[in-house]
Structure formats: structure tokens, C-alpha cells
């Protein structure tokens, strides 16, 4: 693993997993090449960096999706995009005011990018 790279492990629900998988498939079709979850989340975070995440958007997402589950998901966050991910993660923590920011931030980044036609 490269210096500064960190692995994030979360456990998600089937509903959250389906959101991630559907986004990977849609992003792969749009770009014309296979996109992994890391590439999809990275693109979402990059495209959301100028988007100001609102409390309403996060509350809407949390009301629509069950997050906690038993499906393990690993995400490799590299220095190339960690700052973009961390900005979103910190905003989620600020709004939600609870632990588990990664479990929220990862599917929320996909949801928000898709809602704003950024993926």
C-alpha cells in the first residue's frame, strides 16, 4: 500500500450495496470502461467538491436508505483524492453529529452525485 493510502472498511445493508453496485454499472456504461467502486466514489467526491452539501440532502438520503448491514465493503482512499473524500466525510460528521461517517459518506457520495447528474 502506498504511503498515505488508507483502507476504509464498512458494513452496509443490501439497499446501500445495491446503490453502490448500480452506480458502478451506470458509471461504467457512461465512461465505456469498467469502473470499480473506488473509481466511482473517487469520481463522485471529485465532482462534488464544489457542491455545498446541505442538511436537507443528507436527511433525505438517510430517510431513504438503510445503511447498517452485514455486507463488508472496503474502499482504498489514496492521497490523490483523500482530501476530496475527507471534505465530504467531515461535512457528513458535522451534519449528522455521530460516528460512522464513513458508512454514511461512501454511499451518500454516490447518491448525491447521481442526484445532481454528476456521475
Dump pLDDT digits (tens) for 60-101. Answer: 999 999 988 999 999 999 999 999 999 999 888 888 876 668
16-70 pLDDT tens trace? 999 999 999 999 999 999 999 999 999 999 999 888 888 999 999 999 999 889 9
Per domain, the residue ranges of the chain are 6-115
Q: What is the number of helices (H) and of strands (E) in the chain?
A: 5, 2
β 71-77/6-12 pair status: antiparallel
Say how far apart CA 80 and CA 13 lie, in whole Å.
Answer: 28
Say how far apart CA 13 and CA 36 lie, in whole Å.
Answer: 19
Amino acid at each position: 500500500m502506498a504511503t498515505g493510502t488508507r483502507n476504509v472498511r464498512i458494513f452496509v445493508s443490501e439497499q446501500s450495496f445495491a446503490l453502490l453496485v448500480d452506480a458502478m454499472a451506470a458509471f461504467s456504461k457512461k465512461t465505456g470502461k469498467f469502473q470499480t467502486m473506488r473509481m466511482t466514489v473517487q469520481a463522485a467526491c471529485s465532482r462534488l467538491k464544489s457542491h455545498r452539501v446541505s442538511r436537507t440532502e443528507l436527511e433525505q438520503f438517510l430517510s431513504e436508505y438503510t445503511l447498517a448491514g452485514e455486507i463488508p465493503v472496503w474502499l482504498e482512499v489514496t492521497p490523490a483524492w483523500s482530501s476530496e473524500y475527507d471534505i465530504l466525510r467531515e461535512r457528513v460528521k458535522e451534519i449528522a453529529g455521530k460516528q460512522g461517517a464513513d458508512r454514511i459518506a461512501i454511499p451518500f457520495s454516490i447518491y448525491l452525485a447521481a442526484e445532481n447528474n454528476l456521475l
